[in-house]
Structure 1
Amino acid sequence: MQEVDQLSAQDALVALMVVVSAADETIRTAELVKIQALINHLPVFADYNDTRMTAMAQAVFGLLEQEDGLDTLFNRVRGALPERLRETAYALACDVAASDGGLAQTELRMLQEIRHELDIDRLHAAAIERGARARHMT
């Protein structure tokens, strides 16, 4: 789990996208494509080595197999993520969750947990969620 011990802010963003994708125990192609597209196009990832995404995903999966792995992950994400990127992190998680056209109950619970762990205001969270829904409407 050394990969997760030293998270950069970008690693933390990727970890949250991966964890919301894995929440329903099925990582869909649309979710992986969305994560890769976000990494390729958003300014926050301008200097991110996108090959690190695979290592981060494996580290997240490893943590999720541990008894307190999710708590450990959230502690490390909070430590690596500056306050100014917390709403960004939640928006990215919402985009990944919405990318496959539906939200499973487990994904909704994971988003709620991320919102709580990152201390995202309810009103701001609702606006972020509505934006994600609008972007992924068919």
Structure 2
Amino acid sequence: MNEQVPHPMTPQDCLVAIMVAISASDENIRTAELVKIETAVNMLPVFADYDIDRVKRISQTVFDLFEQEEGLDALFGLIRNNLPERLNETAYALACDVAAADGKLAESELRLLEEIRYELDIDRLHAAAIERGARARHTT
């Protein structure tokens, strides 16, 4: 299978890919998570000029990568190559929001969040603050 994305990934594609990855990490994409992704893409300034139709293509790319043995490494490679460093904390915040959207964190989601923190080089204190904010926003 061709591992190249047909079009280069935009920074926004990377953010979508991270949100889809965290949602798919427990092999059960919940409605609350999909709504969170859609709301982020529709409302956040970083997505102002983003073509919403790309969400489906980026989602399929993530699913295809997850079927491969080194798929997660390939995904992080794409993100490292296409996500500007200034958006690393944004990416982590979006991942935390999607993970928290359904009110529970699966072990697989926690592991992937840890990998995202590592791959995006998120400072531990900043990560704790981002996680705390996500928890506060999603408490019922």
User: RMSD in angstroms over aligned alpha carbons?
Assistant: 1.1
1:1-138 to 2 correspondence within 5 Å? 1-3=3-5, 6-138=8-140
Structure 2: where are the runs of 5+ without partners? none
Aligned residues: 138
Q: Is the 8 A contact 1:23 1:110 kept in 2?
A: yes
Instruction: Give the whole-Å Cα distance in 1 for the aligned partners of 2:104 and 2:58.
Output: 25
How many Å separate the matches in 2 of 1:85 and 1:98? Answer: 20
Q: Residue by residue, what CA displacement relative to the aligned partner does 1:5-42 show, whole Å, maximum 9, x if unpaired? A: 61100000000000000111100000000000000000
4+ residue runs of structure 1 moved beyond 4 angstroms?
Answer: none
Report the Cα offset of residue 67 of structure 1.
Answer: 1.0
Matched residue type, 1:73: L
Q: Unpaired segments of 5 or more residues in structure 1? A: none
In 1: Cα distance, 2:77 partner to 2:47 partner: 22
Whether the 8 Å contact between 1:4 and 1:59 is mirrored in structure 2 is no
Percent identity for Structure 1 against Structure 2? 67
